[in-house]
Amino acid sequence: MPVPENMRITLWGTRGSCPSFGSSEEIQNLTEKFSTATLSYIQDRLYSESGLAELRKLFRRSTKEIVGELPISHSPVFGGETTCIEIETSERNLIILDCGSGLRSCAEEILRKRSKGDLRDIYLFGTHGHLDHRSGIPFAGICFADPPFDIQVFGCSGFLSSLDSRLGVFSHTTTEDTYLDDPVDYAAMTASFRGTELRAGAGEGTSHPGQRWKVRDLNEPVIIGSTKVQGFRSYHGATECLGYRIDHGGKSFVFSTDHEKLPHDLPSGSSLGETELNKSLQAEKELVGMCRGVDLAYFDGQYLSAEYLGQKSIGTAPPLSRVGWGHGCIEDILDRVRESKIKHTLIGHHDPARNWSSLEEIAQILLELSESDAYEVELARDGQRFNL
């Protein structure tokens, strides 16, 4: 694969909370829909000379080319891995955003790239320590490769602490928490992990006693070659969480997942108060500022507003309020897009209970909105690739 002119962004995981794939019934329906459309296309052309000529010309091509040439709409497949996004820059630097279950496929691609040239350094930026944003590490080939990779890890204290407590990658020690998630620890890995905590207001070199990573000010960008990565705070309830803006070659990308914009009128009975509301709205204000005029953005839109407020169910589960759960609403994203004038927006972190047909309905609504608006908005899907 050639080196990108600026940034190549690949989505390896776009589901939220846990991996979630299409049911056997959904996959069968998708297969039957495409098969029926293909047969219909062929039958329509069998009984005319011009149609037969068209088919002869088409079937001289490879199978892949034939499928690509058929004028048949393909239903989108909303894949199932949790959050992981890869960025390759024109300088061939590799940046990974979050290491959910999508990291496994991402690592396979990185190893293929390495086989075609020298590649040793990987820059991993984590948002927070929840399992769906770090579960891919024990299954990623880059952690066990020979020759080994040097993985520089950036994130908040909670993200770094969770990696170290479960895998010992920074301290090279094991505790009673090490094997709670997986039977793997640092000793089985060849990669070296170097951590840097991004902390607001921290001075260079600030650390806690016994801490095994560096600390730097969140407000100071991380420079990788000519790429600038600027971290910022998101609102994920009681869990510390970061988002990132990446600038390279005059192009920009914002990654913000697990961010919740609390409603101004908090539901009665909510344990949240004015302090939490202010934190959320301040984080939203900062996010809007980070997004102004960017080329591409990725947001957590796990809910529709009615689902978030407990007025509507997702899948077969009964309706319940999700206020304070730390995730975003699609309607809030649309407001953010218009305010920040984001050129192209991806909505990910799809709720695991949301099936393909529901996602298709939302995707169609977003397509119609994009056609009538100045900004493009779509649901994110595993395997999508964007060149900026």
Helix H, strand E, coil C: the string for 214-240 is EEEECCCCEEECCEEEEEEECCECCEC
Is there a domain that residue 225 lies in?
Answer: yes
- Outline where the chain has alpha helix (H): 24-45, 49-58, 63-69, 103-114, 157-167, 274-291, 305-308, 330-340, 356-372
- Same domain? For 11 and 92 the reply is yes
- Same domain? For 35 and 143 the reply is no
3-class DSSP assignment, residue 201: coil
Q: What percent of the chain has pLDDT over 90?
A: 77
pLDDT digits (tens, 9 = 90+) for 62-73: 988 888 888 777
Q: What percent of the chain has pLDDT over 70?
A: 97
Is there a domain that residue 371 lies in?
Answer: yes
CATH number at residue 333: 3.60.15.10
- Same domain? For 106 and 181 the reply is yes
Is there a domain that residue 2 lies in?
Answer: no
Tokens of 319: 């309706």
- Same domain? For 166 and 52 the reply is no
Residue 197 binned pLDDT confidence (cut-offs 50, 70, 90):
very high
What pLDDT shows up at residue 30? 84
pLDDT digits (tens, 9 = 90+) for 77-108: 887 999 999 999 999 999 999 999 999 999 99
pLDDT, mean of residues 31-57: 91
- Same domain? For 289 and 333 the reply is yes
What pLDDT shows up at residue 14? 97
Give 152's contacts (C-beta < 8 A, 6+ positions apart): 121, 122, 123, 124, 194, 196
- Same domain? For 33 and 110 the reply is no
Whether 52 shows a pLDDT value over 80: the answer reads: yes
pLDDT digits (tens, 9 = 90+) for 274-333: 999 999 999 999 999 999 999 999 999 999 999 999 999 998 889 999 999 999 999 999
The bridge status of strand 7-13 relative to strand 385-387 is antiparallel
Is there a domain that residue 347 lies in?
Answer: yes
- Same domain? For 16 and 36 the reply is no
Among the ranges given (68-77, 118-127, 140-149), the one the predictor scored with the smallest mean pLDDT: 68-77
Is there a domain that residue 187 lies in?
Answer: yes
Distance CA 35, CA 26 (A): 14
- Same domain? For 228 and 376 the reply is yes
Average pLDDT, the chain: 92
279 vs 18, 26, 130, 166, 272, CA distance in Å? 26, 40, 20, 29, 11
Is there a domain that residue 44 lies in?
Answer: yes
pLDDT digits (tens, 9 = 90+) for 201-223: 876 555 555 678 999 999 999 99
Among the ranges given (153-157, 263-267, 342-346), the one the predictor scored with the smallest mean pLDDT: 263-267
Distance CA 37, CA 40 (A): 5
- Same domain? For 132 and 61 the reply is no
- Same domain? For 59 and 127 the reply is no
Tokens of 212: 């095994």
| Helix (H) or strand (E) segment spanning residue 246 | strand 242-248
Number of domains observed in the structure of the chain:
2
Q: What long-range pairs does 32-36 form, CB within 8 A, spacing at least 24?
A: 33/75, 34/72, 34/74, 34/75
- Same domain? For 228 and 333 the reply is yes
Phi, psi of 385 (to 5 degrees): -135, 135
Is there a domain that residue 278 lies in?
Answer: yes
- Same domain? For 102 and 192 the reply is yes
Can you give the residue range of the structural domain that contains 121? 7-22+78-387
